[in-house]
Amino acid sequence: MNQSFSIFDLFSLFCGIAIFLYGMQQGEKSLRSVGGTALRKLINIITRHRLSAYLAGVVITLITQSSTATTVMLVSFASARLLTLGQSLGMILGSDLGTTFTVQLFAFKIYQIAPLMIAVGFFSTLNGKKQKFSAYGKLIMALGFIFFGMYMMTQSVAPLRSLPHFEKWMHDSLCNPWFGLLAGTLITAIIHSSAATLAILITLLESYSTGAGWMPTAVNIFPVIMGANLGTCLTAFISTLNGELEGLRVAWAHFLFKLLGIAVVFPFTGLINYIDPFLSGTSFALQIAIYHTLFNIIISILFLPFLQFFERLILKIVKPGKKEMQKYHTLFLNEQTLSLPVLALSQATKEIEHMSEKVTMMIEQCKNLIEKFELHKKNLLVETDNEVDFYHQSIIAFLTRISREELNPEQAFKAYQLIVVTTDLEHIGDLASKGIAQLSEKIEFSPLPLSEEGKHEIMDFFEITIANLKEVIAAFVLNDQLLASTVFQRKKEVYKIYDQLFEHHMNRLYLRKPESLQTTAIHSDLLEEIRRINYYAFRIATHMLKNDKNDIYIQKP
């Protein structure tokens, strides 16, 4: 006896969608938690060849069970400048093939063990002492939710067979390829998964086939499959809202792969019927899984050899907008990753590296200004400090917005270290623009210049300071504690040099040298400003050497 479709079935459909989307979300988070470092290593591997990028896309999507989730991750990576557009293209094609295995698994009724996956995953998360083990448990549980959600969706639409004229509606819908294409696109755009859409299609076809006089063929099914593939692009576009240019380009690439693939394949859909005899006697589930795989293999064959040409096409289509033309803008920070600490912290680190390049350049400009003052160079230095202040504010705001509930102790300590480093770099920038740059102008308009001996000593002190700053920044970028320790060990030596230079200046005052008498305040302030730059460099090294995540303190100058 057929069950009638009711309001409870509609609720069950929405519940299934919610569970499925929750599983996708948790699966993506768990993957980052389990393999955050591994993902970054994978990024380095995929830069070598388009085929390795393609295979990486397949593997990651096999884990997440969603090409949508993989593409959103790629958008995040590209927005963070951890991936270039060219590197992302191969992974996009790979993710499209990887998602076809989800439908294959559904065809073999893997959803029957979904409750077991949820149970095993949940009990694994109870082992709080082993964080990695718990993270794997969350990943297994997320996969269970994905398949259980798909199962709920399919079961909720099964009673549609009880509706009047259901068979006629199915016949009319599937006989119109344009309607099938549109329906597949819209449904996938709503539930964010081509696999879930095709799972629903499988259930409807199996419901229809019972006692039906007309049986759908590949020509009827294939447009829905193509539409489902196109519908996955919407989620990637949504993830680029308020995002970066590179991420938008990745979303466009994903869309154009699908659109151009459909444009090539759609006119030849009739040829698919030649495959039907080989699949006679198989279930609709297996047929749809095979057709889904076939479509994405065709797209891969069409575009994989021409990725460089495709990259140039995307660069011409998606050009820099207003944000990229603004006076200041961050290069690596992307708000879409705030709930993903591994990626967010990586973005902040790269942004601080970029900021540190500006700060180092400012100190070198200060040395040049003391050697020979030029007003336009001093103004340029002040302008650079405004840019550094912008980076500092943006990085701090970004780090303080990372989801606290997602941070483990190691990540929380890393966030703290990044805040300290960016703040110290901002202080160095202020010493350059508000301290040394102003002192250089005072020297220019002083009745007498610095004494020759004093000027040479200050230039030498600058050289030592610039070397320390460059090395501690290199230690930060490379996360090289040995190099940080080497810099820190110079602390007493540098402070001793400062004392010696100050004593030399006092001796010149004692000898009543005119230049020293005239510029004594400027000279003393210069030495102090340079000493404080070293202090902040040493403080960065100090925080890099901390291992006790509970021992957080701030030194005073």
pLDDT of residue 338: 78
pLDDT exceeds cutoff 70 at 48: no
pLDDT exceeds cutoff 60 at 233: yes
pLDDT of residue 5: 66
Structure confidence at residue 471 as a pLDDT band (50, 70, 90): very high
pLDDT of residue 137: 84
Q: Is the pTM of this model over 0.75?
A: no
pLDDT exceeds cutoff 60 at 202: yes
Helix axes of 409-430 and 341-371: crossing angle, nearest 10 degrees: 20
Structure confidence at residue 496 as a pLDDT band (50, 70, 90): very high
The 10s digit of each residue's pLDDT in 241-253 is: 655 677 788 888 8
- Rounded percentage of the chain residues whose pLDDT exceeds 90: 24
Q: Where do runs of H (alpha helix) occur along 158-176?
A: 166-175
Neighbours of 131 (CB within 10 A): 12
pLDDT of residue 544: 87
Neighbours of 357 (CB within 10 A): 12
Compute the distance between CA of residue 158 and CA of residue 199 in angstroms, rounded to an integer: 11
Compute the distance between CA of residue 227 and CA of residue 194 in angstroms, rounded to an integer: 9
Q: Set out the domains of the chain in order of their start, with CATH numbers.
A: 7-322 (no CATH), 335-544 (1.20.58.220)
pLDDT of residue 308: 84
Structure confidence at residue 353 as a pLDDT band (50, 70, 90): very high
* DSSP notation for 217-253: -HHHHHHHHHHHHHHTHHHHHHHTTT--HHHHHHHHH
Q: Which residues of 469-488 are buried (b: 16+ CB within 10 A; e: fewer)?
A: bbbbbebbeeeeeebbeebb
Give the CA count within 13 Å in the CB-facing half-sphere of 418.
Answer: 30
Distance of CA 406 to the CA centre of its chain: 16
| Contact predicate 376/447, CB 8 Å | no
**Stretch among 169-178, 210-219, 451-460 having the lowest mean pLDDT:** 210-219
Structure confidence at residue 4 as a pLDDT band (50, 70, 90): low
pLDDT of residue 532: 95
Q: Which two tokens stand for residue 457?
A: 């000593």
When pLDDT is averaged across residues 115-131 and rounded to a whole number, the result is 79
Interacting residues of 15 by C-beta distance below 8 A, sequence separation 6+: 152, 156
Q: Which two tokens stand for residue 11?
A: 């609720």
pLDDT exceeds cutoff 70 at 31: no
Q: Which two tokens stand for residue 268?
A: 């030849």
| Contact predicate 111/151, CB 8 Å | yes
The two most distant CA atoms of the chain are separated, in Å, by 113
In the block, residue with structure tokens 């393999």: 35
Compute the distance between CA of residue 265 and CA of residue 246 in angstroms, rounded to an integer: 29
In the block, residue with structure tokens 């160079």: 377
pLDDT exceeds cutoff 90 at 388: yes
Structure confidence at residue 38 as a pLDDT band (50, 70, 90): low
Compute the distance between CA of residue 23 and CA of residue 133 in angstroms, rounded to an integer: 18
Which amino acid, one-letter code, is at 339?
S
The 10s digit of each residue's pLDDT in 240-286 is: 665 567 778 888 888 999 999 999 988 888 787 777 777 776 777 78
What is the average pLDDT score of the chain? 81
pLDDT exceeds cutoff 80 at 365: yes
